[in-house]
Amino acid sequence: MKSSLVLIMVLSGLGFLPSSFSKFYIYVKQYMSWFNAQTYCRTQYTDLASVQNGQELSQLSQLIDSRLHVWIGLCPDPDSWRWSLQNPVYYGVGEIGFRLWAAGEPNEAYYHKACVAMGSSGEWVDLFCDSIYPFVCYDGTTGTFVFVNQAKSWINAQSYCRQNYTDLASVRNQADNDQLVMLASGNPWSTHIGLYRDSWKWSDGSSAPFTNWDPGVTPTAAYVDMCVASYQGKWINIACNAQMYFVCFVDLAMRKHVVRVVMKNNDSSVEMEELKDDILQKFAQALQDQGLTVDLHLGWVTLPNENVFYAAS
């Protein structure tokens, strides 16, 4: 049962039990690279630590030494292309995956964030998001595209479109692409469209809408051999082969565990079954001594003969 797993981890001095009782963090004080830490966490627990909200960030921050660089589970995902306009109603079957890459594109595989522009031929290229080009917006009110002949970065173009129209243009099919080519005709430069890649994800496969980047870090310009560590309460990207402590987690909502406790009885006159409640109380006291103050219920698994303990051969 869950409580047995929690008991062993906290007594080892490596764990933190969240009040929600769904995710359990384990601080592992062994130096490993990010990938070796990932393998360790997946073998011993669930995975490297993921953080989905402020409460989990607080739990993690209380557990680790903020003076050290400590691996967490955020890592690159170079294949995660998506449109700025996220409304699923706008896309028909298969349209969200429409692509018209030029030969050899996309080629910015070494960067976590890349943005897309359309050339005069109508084919697409990926580029740095701070590249300055005109752009095409989509106006959801009229259902039309609008060419904006102002040179802006992709991010600034996105902001402009969202403030004045609906969003940067999504290209759902060849007909949409042909419209954009006509609108941008005469433009000697490339034209920003709404496709981009922001490829951070958690090791357990979950998305990363919640982040806690250090203000001095530019994660969008990080190479794919960079992974993420917590340092002084913020996240930074560091070469994945660096040797650091790390944090694993156990998803208690998905996994149930029973832990066998081996005890030695040196007094044959003592009946262990009569002491089972006292033993649980001592376990509970040990948890309190480790600083665990949440409501925790421990219990024994009863054997078919209605006993808890049995004599080992």
221 compared with 31, residue with greater pLDDT = 31
Q: Report, as an integer, the average pLDDT of 218-227.
A: 61
Give the percent of the chain with pLDDT over 90: 45
Q: How many separate helices (H) and strands (E) can be counted in the chain?
A: 6, 16
Q: Which residues contact 145 (CB under 8 A, 6 or more apart)?
A: 136, 137, 138, 139, 169, 176, 179, 180, 183
50 compared with 263, residue with greater pLDDT = 50
* pLDDT tens sequence across 266-305: 777 777 777 777 877 787 777 666 655 444 566 676 655 6
* Predicted model pTM: 0.53
Give bridge partners of residue 246 from the DSSP assignment: 28, 71
Confidence of residue 6 (pLDDT cuts 50, 70, 90): very low
Q: Are 124 and 110 in contact (CB under 8 A)?
A: no
Per domain, the residue ranges of the chain are 2-73+203-251, 81-198
53 burial class (0-12, 13-18, 19+ CB within 10 angstroms)?
Answer: exposed
* pLDDT tens sequence across 160-215: 999 999 999 999 999 999 999 999 998 889 999 999 887 778 898 887 778 898 88
Report whether pLDDT(133) > 90.
Answer: yes
- CATH (residue range 2-73+203-251): 3.10.100.10
Question: How far apart are alpha carbons 299 and 258 in whole angstroms?
Answer: 10
